[in-house]
Amino acid sequence: MTEPAWWSPGETVVWRYTRPRHSSESVRPMRVVRDDSHGLVAWLPAGTTLLRPVLADGGDLRSVPVAERFDIDRHGRANRLDTWHGPGILKVAPAGVPWSVWVFRGDDGAFRGWYVNLESVHERRDHEVVTQDHVLDLVVQPDRSVVRKDEDELAAAVRAGRFSAAEAAAIVGDAAAVEDVVRRWASPFCDGWETWAPDPTWPLPELPPAYVAKAAYR
């Protein structure tokens, strides 16, 4: 079996969240921190240009009530160029699992906790990581307490047909699996990523022109 080509620290990769039934997607260029058989770690610095999904009229997705948020036929989708504001985000994607862990910091640089984004198992392509967001998320506080986030959105996504009841149950099961990882304080939570700092010589990663061209709003 051929070993995958690992990306080197400092390389740019594109982290894509595709959207079912629509061409809108979230696309974030990031710097590789580590990439090996254990998984990918990548850095999204403040000021990075990215592509994000918006409503067909350019409005923010969260401006729509939760009950209607996943009704794409009623509220269409488009892409907007935007900039990542606030502190940068370190993303840790362990190999073969349907989630990634984001290390959050405050504006003062102090560690604020972990955000676990539930998503499909990552596909590696030519300098791309491709996945789909699973709506339900977890917030892990520095004291290791865990809170589930956006359960109401997952229920709305099921009603809108984005996920079946069986798929939603599997997503809830994934959340429970992460909660078990936290209880055991296993990798990646125990790996010390909260103390990591980016290489100050790295320039901002650039969004590839093909994705810039997809933006309906700038």
The pTM for the full model equals 0.94
Nearest to 132 by CA among 147, 121, 143: 121
Is 149 among the residues known to form the active site?
yes
At residue 150, what are phi and psi to the nearest 5 degrees? 70, 35
H helices within the chain, ranges in order? 151-159, 165-184, 209-212
Domain at 12-192, CATH class: mainly beta
Q: Residue 4's pLDDT is what?
A: 66
Domain chopping of the chain, boundaries:
12-192
Contact 139, 113 (CB under 8 A): yes
Q: Residue 1's pLDDT is what?
A: 41
Cα 187 versus chain centre, distance: 18
Q: Within 13 Å, how many C-alpha atoms sit on residue 152's CB side? A: 6
Identified catalytic residue from 52, 91, 149, 162: 149
Task: For 94-115, write each residue's pLDDT tens digit.
Answer: 999 999 999 999 988 899 999 9
